[in-house]
Amino acid sequence: MGTYFSGADNSLSVYLAVTVIFGIAIFYRNRRNRAAKEFPFFCGLFLLFVFEILCFAALPVSLGLALFSLACLIFCLCTRVPTMLPVDRKAVLITGTDCGIGHALAKYLDSLGFVVFAGVLDEKGPGAKQLRETCSERLSVLQLDITNSKQIKEAYLEVAQKLKNADLWGLINNAGILGFAGDGELLSMSTYKQCMDVNFFGPVEVAKTFLPLLRKSKGRLINICSMAGSIPMPRFAAYGASKAALSMFSGTLRQELSIWGIKVAVLYPSGFKTSIQGTPELWDKEEQTLLQNLTPDVKKDYGEDYILSLKLFLSHLPFLAEADLSPVLCDVLHALLAKSPHGFYTPGKNAYKYLLISCYFPLWFFDFCMRKMLNIPGIPRALRDKK
């Protein structure tokens, strides 16, 4: 009996030693690797740990160690440190750089040495002015309303002229709007159409216009989507539908453009603090448009108090968002410079979690999680009257 326990103790010591050595090697090898910060990486580590326990409990020491070592080797190969291309003054066009993610991206990529073409909705606005004052001479501000075909063509000609013999390496479709957040039945058709114009048709036209330049460079097309475009979220019917369309467009182009050497990536960020939700003045205007377009029976069923409370939901959104935009910036940089970029990225703390819940859990559980996360208050009048 003593010999048995002594042998088990020795086996455990060997397994622990191998685990420590492997852990130290993985830590130092992946400390700057973005993959080491993602959910799949930690999931892989957990499965590897479970496999180690099974090997220790069910197999002879030599065979168990051999299989565990092989699993460690496979894990290392699957989480290899990505090969990054040099910046080397690569040219990038970014839409929607007046504020938010686009503004931060323009500054970040400029600081790394990229030649940045920053498309803005208002070239005389405070965002454009700040970019001119704080960034290097490599950055050019372009007037670019992505719903205006004439401005898109003019931006193309200006970019082509300034590049001269150089190539456009990257196009980042970032410009987007949230529109008014409310129940899908309540939203006006103008809200649906505006979201589709800015969040889908605009990026499609910009991509179609600039793809000939990307084809020459075998560069990168990056579309900034949203978690609302990959999973259904209450009160984001217009916004989510437009982003879902952009997501499908991106996936299709990823397959079609691969033969040209162009790599396409789409980002599904979780909530980040930007100005996309609009201002109280804009909410008041959208609210009046909504009230004016509702039929009497819909207005009666929901109740004006319920409709007026939708602004409270919009004002609550920033409290659910992250202020630090660095996860988005890092993922965009990886999509631009990694030799083998991912097809999609999920920057943000809860992005991957809710995507997994929507795919692998019952729908009732996913719906419950969504309502709890968004903290949706209020009940329509007709439902209150039945109680």
Question: Catalytic amino acids?
Answer: 239
What's the CA gap between 303 and 283, in Å, rounded?
18
**What is the per-residue DSSP string for 341-387?**
--SEE--SSSHHHHHHHHHHS-HHHHHHHHHHHHT-----HHHHHH-
What's the CA gap between 66 and 119, in Å, rounded?
56
DSSP 228: G
Q: In this structure, which amino acid lies at residue 122?
A: D
193: which residues sit within 8 A by CB, 6+ positions away?
none
What's the CA gap between 357 and 365, in Å, rounded?
8
CB burial readout 52-80, b (16+ within 10 A) else e = beebbeeeebeebbeebeebbeebeeebe
CB burial readout 131-144, b (16+ within 10 A) else e = beeebeeebbbbbb
Q: Are 201 and 249 in contact (CB under 8 A)?
A: no
Q: Are 22 and 70 in contact (CB under 8 A)?
A: no
